[in-house]
Structure 1
Amino acid sequence: MGTTDPQPRARRTARRRVLPYLLIAPTVLALAAVLGYPLADLVLLSFQDMTRRELFSGATPPWAGLAHYRSILSDGFFWTVVGRTALFTAVCVTATVALSMLVALLMRRVAPWVRTAMTGVLVAVWAMPIMVAASIFRWLSDADYGVVNWLLGLLPGLDFSKHNWFENPWQGFAVITGVVVWGTVPFAAITLHAALLQIPVEWEEAALVDGARGFRLFRHVTFPAIKPTAVLVTSLCAIWDFGVFNQIWLMRGGQPEKDYYLLGVYSFTESFAVNRYSAGAAIAVVTVLMLLGGAVVYVRQLVHLGETE
Structure 2
Amino acid sequence: MSVKAQEAPPRGKVPVQAVGTPGPPPPVKRVTGKGALPYLLLLPALAMTAVFLGYPLVTNGMLSFQNLNMTQLIQHVTEWNGVTNYTDTLSSETFWRVTLRSVIFTAVNVVVIIVVGTLIGLLLARLGSKMRLLLLVGLVLAWAMPIIAATTVYQWLFAQRFGVVNWVLSELGFDSMADYNWTGTQLSTFFVISLLIVWTSVPFVAINLYAATTTISRELYEAAALDGAGAWESFKSVTFPFLKPFLMVATFLEVIWIFKAFPHVFAINEGGPDRLTETLPVYAFVEGVGNQHYGTGAAISVLTILILLALMSYYLRLVLRQENADDADGSEESKGGRA
TM-score in terms of structure 2 length: 0.82
Q: What's the CA shift for 1:255?
A: 6.7
Which of 121, 124, 131 is matched with 1:104 structurally? 121
Asked whether the equivalents of residues 134 and 247 of structure 1 are also in contact (C-alpha less than 8 Å), the reply is yes
Asked whether the equivalents of residues 170 and 178 of structure 2 are also in contact (C-alpha less than 8 Å), the reply is yes
Q: Is the aligned partner of 1:35 residue 2:53? A: yes
Which of 113, 128, 134 is matched with 2:145 structurally? 128
Q: Is the aligned partner of 1:90 residue 2:123? A: no
Q: What's the CA shift for 1:222?
A: 0.8
Cα distance in 2 for residues equivalent to 1:45 and 1:128: 35
Instruction: Name the amino acid aligned to 1:126.
Output: W
Q: What's the CA shift for 1:146?
A: 1.7
Partner of 1:216: 233
Partner of 2:69: 51
Which ranges in structure 1 are unaligned for 5 or more consecutive residues? 3-8
Greater displacement, 136-145 / 19-28: 19-28
CA RMSD across the alignment: 2.5
Q: 1:215 to 1:67 in 2, by over 3 A?
A: same
Q: 1:17 to 1:153 in 2, by over 3 A?
A: farther
Instruction: Name the amino acid aligned to 2:68.
Output: M
Q: Is the aligned partner of 1:119 residue 2:170? A: no
Partner of 1:192: 209
Q: Deviations over 1:53-87 (max 9, x none)?
A: 3323433x211111111111111111110011111
Partner of 2:96: 79
Residue 276 of structure 2 aligns to a residue whose secondary structure is: helix
Q: Is the aligned partner of 1:143 residue 2:173? A: no
Cα distance in 2 for residues equivalent to 1:227 and 1:25: 35
Asked whether the equivalents of residues 239 and 294 of structure 1 are also in contact (C-alpha less than 8 Å), the reply is no
Asked whether the equivalents of residues 186 and 272 of structure 2 are also in contact (C-alpha less than 8 Å), the reply is no
Q: 1:254 to 1:297 in 2, by over 3 A?
A: closer
Instruction: Name the amino acid aligned to 2:65.
Output: F
Which of 298, 304, 313 is matched with 1:287 structurally? 304
Asked whether the equivalents of residues 256 and 308 of structure 2 are also in contact (C-alpha less than 8 Å), the reply is yes
Greater displacement, 147-156 / 33-42: 147-156
Cα distance in 2 for residues equivalent to 1:266 and 1:254: 8
Which ranges in structure 2 are unaligned for 5 or more consecutive residues? 1-11, 14-26, 327-339
Q: Deviations over 1:75-133 (max 9, x none)?
A: 11111100111111111111111110011001000111221222221111111011111
Cα distance in 1 for residues equivalent to 2:221 and 2:102: 40
Partner of 1:6: none
Q: Is the aligned partner of 1:177 residue 2:184? A: no
Cα distance in 2 for residues equivalent to 1:102 and 1:287: 32
Cα distance in 1 for residues equivalent to 2:106 and 2:37: 39
Asked whether the equivalents of residues 89 and 241 of structure 1 are also in contact (C-alpha less than 8 Å), the reply is yes
Partner of 1:5: none
Cα distance in 1 for residues equivalent to 2:297 and 2:224: 55
Q: Deviations over 1:215-261 (max 9, x none)?
A: 22222221111111001111111111101110121111687631111
Q: 1:255 to 1:154 in 2, by over 3 A?
A: closer
Report how many aligned residue pairs link the two structures: 301
Cα distance in 1 for residues equivalent to 2:222 and 2:40: 45
Which of 255, 267, 274 is matched with 2:284 structurally? 267
Alignment of 1:223-302 (within 5 A): 223-252=240-269, 257-302=274-319
